[in-house]
A and B are shown apart, each in its own frame.
Chain A
Amino acid sequence: MNALLFNSTLVIYAVVTAVYLVYLLKPTESLGKTGLWLTMAGFLVHCGFTLNRFLDAGHTPITNLHESLSFFSLSVVGIFLLLERRYKISILGSFMMPLALLIMAISASFSTVIPPLNPALKSKWLAVHTIMAFLGYAAFAISFGVSIMYLIQSHFLKTRRLGSMFQKLPSLDILDDISYRCLTFGFPLLTFAIISGAIWAETAWGTYWSWDPKETWSLITWFIYAALLHGRLTTGWRGRKAAMLSIFGFVIMLFTFLGVNLLLPGLHSYK
């Protein structure tokens, strides 16, 4: 059942990605609608998978890379659907859904068996800490995608290449706005994830902060986004500069999430 739901999600996201990529080349209203409906269907199946996994495992299914990547992807799709509802910009899907698919594909490459729960993770903090962290990551991922859209649109405007993709991409102002909103949504989540992690670490390992690689890199990620938001509020970093910083922040965040788990041994290396 687990495998069926997971694979169905993967297949639907693959189809959605194909639909949205065709939309990028030839934007028609019906393609955009098809993409949206398929995404909703995929999201429901994905929710079904997560719920099923939760029931099978008996705890929040975010304990290894397979599970957490899947939940990361689920959060990206969820936030994308909320944004699509609010802004009605189909072309967002052309940038978000390939990302969601990629994350799912990486998730598929890791072992899908439900391992016995690591004793250190047996805590009510598991749900709070991981869900906040991954919702935050997802918000940053969306900000990353929208920032790429910003750079593309800004490039079109600067070089006066005003084709059909330019027409379909929203205004710079809206892209900047969505990116900023995602950051203001993601940043508090990351902050609380770090704080809740520290509290949890105190109860589990007896110390709030042990400069474990994950902790260090989380802090670096936090500082980058803090700087970005601070710069925006005070000196008004916006537009291209903000977009590039958001992309940079996302790359660092990815390293915090994946790089640390796979490359740097430490307390957080759950595979």
Chain B
Amino acid sequence: MNIIVVGLSHKTAAVEIREKVAFSPTQMEKPLNALVALPDITEAVIVSTCNRVEIYATTRDVAGGMARLKRFLADYHNVPLETLEKHLYSHHGEEATRHVFRVASSLDSMVVGEPQILGQIKTSYGYAAEFKSSGIILNRFLHKAFSVAKRVRTETKIASSAVSVAFAAVELAKKIFGELTDKTVLLIGAGEMCELAAKHFINVGVRGVMVTNRTYERAEKLAEEFDAKPVHFEALMDHLPKADIILSSTGAPHFIIHQKDMEDVLRRRKLKPMFFIDIAVPRDIDPKVNDVENCYLYTVDDLNGVVATNLEQRKIEAAKAEAIVEQEIGQFFKWLSSLDVTPTIVALRSHFDEIRKAELAKTLSNWKDLPPGAEKKMDALTNAIMNKLLHHPTSLLKRTDQGSRNDLYVDALRHLFDLETGEQQESMMELED
């Protein structure tokens, strides 16, 4: 049995293409049922996120299966296959396994290490399990992918540092203030990056937000959006001592916060530290403010620098993650190859035959005055019994029209008659957690 994957991602297709073939999470039953109804496709899982659309399936016929999946993707969404074709990638066997391990571990993500993708794949798998389109192979295939992702997360630092300016600002604030729950953010001016950073601070649960703007109405409007308190720009110096984190991005051509004012502000807030984030160009805050005791000033360039370092760090961690993926591929394949029918039948027969021969030898050795020819007859008799017993299971296994049940039987047989190897038991245990 082969695992195949056909799909497209942010690396191969622009959003205009991706949105055309996306599957709605509320209507997964229909496409999943249609997929497993296709000839030669036994199991199927659809992963559909804003960055990728992929179909994982099992098939006996790799080339035919891939062609069917491509055709299905095009037909289901009424997109001509010719336009879609050049954006699609397809993998099978080891490549498909490497692909899903990398995707789940967030090594194939737009921002390497971002944590959402694992949850998205788990949800996708949930649909497939709910509508019974995945069977023993894809079940274990995806569970293995989850456990690889978990290993990557715990053994590497791939997701441990901030890779966006807004997040970097929050991380730095935590290094100054520890918990942010009793801290107040002051937003001076408006701007996309500034508002995004403010949202991140609100998400981690700061106590309050103040907003100020040269035009008070705009401050009021923004304050409403953030559930914040608008303050008059003229009263900035009165409110500054109340703020712990200051996000500034005004269009002012000169500094609006000066070093000489800060000594007084700090004194009024009993020298409690302040964190300034200056996102404006030209800058709003005199760089000398950083020299004031307990004041920490970061500009947009500083934050970009932090992000760049963190991205470098992620690249190093990603290399470690790739090594983990390679290691796990081997393990999964040992299990997958054990599901081949022929070696299983051979192993089952030899297992039975060993028992038969051992028991026969035991009986015959204790049997004195044996009539001539009896030995041969006994051998033939036991052999016939064994063949009769094995006839139905063997012919059932050799049938090719029963889809994923075949793999289920093989797996069950290997367990029932203890035909398995060490690795398999290990992977069974991993499946449980």
Interface assignment of A236: CB less than 8 Å from any CB of chain B: yes
Task: Answer whether residue B298 sits at the interface, using C-beta atoms and an 8 A cutoff.
Answer: yes
Stretch at the interface among A37-45, A166-174, A257-265: A166-174
Contacts of A239 in B (CB 8 A): 271-273, 293-294
The answer for the CA separation of A173 and B181 in the assembled complex, in Å, is: 13
Question: A171 contacts which of B176, B267, B271 (Cβ < 8 Å)?
Answer: B176
A82 CA to B178 CA, complexed, in Å:
20
Give the size range of B's interface with the partner. Answer: 20 to 34
In A153-172, which residues have CB < 8 Å from any B CB? 153, 157-158, 160, 162, 166-167, 170-172
Q: A171: which B residues are within 8 A, CB to CB?
A: 174-178
Find out whether the CB atom of A157 lies under 8 angstroms from the CB atom of B270.
Answer: no
Complex CA gap A250/B309 in Å reads: 37
Judge if B302 is at the interface, Cβ distance under 8 Å: yes
Beyond A236-B271, A241-B293, 7 additional pairs, beta carbon < 8 A? A160-B302, A162-B172, A162-B309, A172-B273, A174-B178, A239-B273, A239-B293
> Contact partner of B306 among A162, A240, A241, CB < 8 A?
A162
Q: Does B305 contact A (CB under 8 A)?
A: yes
Q: Does B383 contact A (CB under 8 A)?
A: no
Across the A-B interface, how many residue pairs have beta carbons closer than 8 Å? Answer: 55
| Chain B, range 251-304, C-beta contacts under 8 Å to A | 267, 269-273, 290, 293-294, 296, 298, 302
Cβ-neighbour of A238 out of B172, B272, B309 (below 8 A): B272
Return B298 CB to nearest CB of chain A, in Å.
Answer: 7
Give bound CA distance, A158 to B178, whole Å. 17
| B183: nearest chain-A partner, CB-CB | A173
Q: Is the CB of B305 within 8 A of A160?
A: yes
Chain B 354-387 interface mask (CB, 8 Å, partner A; 1/0): 0000000000000000000000000000000000
- Give 3 nearest A-B pairs by CB, closest first: A236-B270, A173-B178, A171-B178
Q: What's the Cα separation between A172 and B267 when bound, in Å?
A: 19
Given A160-B305, A237-B271, A241-B271, A173:B176 Cβ within 8 A: yes
Q: How far is the CA of A166 from the CA of B161 in the complex (A)?
A: 13
Complex interface: chain A residues within 8 A of B270 (CB): 235-236, 238
Chain B nearest Cβ from A245, distance in angstroms = 12
Query: What 1/0 flags go to A226-257 for Cβ under 8 Å of B?
Result: 00000000011111110000000000000000
Using a CB–CB distance below 8 Å, which chain B residues touch chain A? 161, 172, 174-179, 267, 269-273, 290, 293-294, 296, 298, 302, 305-306, 309
Instruction: Provide the residues of chain A in CB contact with B269, threshold 8 Å.
Output: 236
A157 near B172: Cβ-Cβ < 8 Å: yes
- Chain A interface, number of residues (Cβ within 8 angstroms): 20
Q: Are A240 and B175 in contact (CB under 8 A)?
A: no
Q: A236-B270, A236-B272, A238-B272 are contacts. A172–B305 as well, Cβ < 8 Å?
A: no
- Complex: A157 Cα to B303 Cα, angstroms: 12
Bound form: Cα–Cα A167–B168 in Å: 13
Tell whether, in the assembled complex, residue A240 and residue B172 are in contact, meaning their CB atoms are under 8 Å apart: no
Kindly list chain A residues whose C-beta atoms are within 8 Å of the C-beta of B174: 171
Interface centre among B161, B172, B178 (most CB of A within 10 A): B178
Of the residues A172, A177, A235, A241, contact of B175 by C-beta under 8 Å: A172
5 A-B contacts (beta carbon < 8 Å): A167-B161, A171-B176, A177-B178, A238-B272, A239-B293
Q: In whole angstroms, how far apart are the Cα atoms of A166 and B175 in the complex?
A: 9
Closest to B175 in A: A171
Q: How far is the CB of A162 from chain B (nearest CB, A)?
A: 6
Using CB atoms, name the residue of chain B closest to A157. Answer: B296
Q: In the complex, what residue of chain B is closest to A164 when comparing beta carbons?
A: B313
Bound form: Cα–Cα A147–B309 in Å: 28
- Shortest distance between the CB of B41 and any CB in chain A (Å): 45
Nearest B residue to A172 via CB reads B176
Tell me, in angstroms, the Cα distance from A235 to B178 when the chains sit together. Answer: 22
Known A160-B305, A162-B309, A172-B273; contact A240-B294, beta-carbon cutoff 8 A: yes
Q: Given A238-B294, A239-B293, A240-B294, check contact A157 B271 (CB 8 Å).
A: no
Q: Which residue of A lies closest to B313 (CB)?
A: A164
Measured CB to CB, the closest approach of chain A to B376, in angstroms, equals: 67
- How far is A154 from B175 in the complex, measured between Cα atoms in Å? 10
Contacts of A157 in B (CB 8 A): 172, 175-176, 296
Q: With the chains together, A157 CA to B173 CA distance in Å?
A: 10
- How far in angstroms is the closest Cβ of chain A from B371? 73
Interface centre among A162, A166, A241 (most CB of B within 10 A): A162
**Bound-complex Cα distance A238 to B293 (A):** 10
By a CB distance below 8 angstroms, the chain A residues around B273 are 172-173, 239
* Distance between B46 CB and nearest chain A CB, rounded to angstroms: 38
Distance A172 CA – B180 CA, assembled complex (angstroms): 13
Return chain B residues, CB-CB under 8 Å to A174. Answer: 178
Complex-state Cα separation, A167 to B271, whole angstroms: 24
Task: A153 to B172: give the CA distance in the assembly, Å.
Answer: 12
Q: Which of A160, A172, A239 has the most CB of B within 10 A?
A: A160
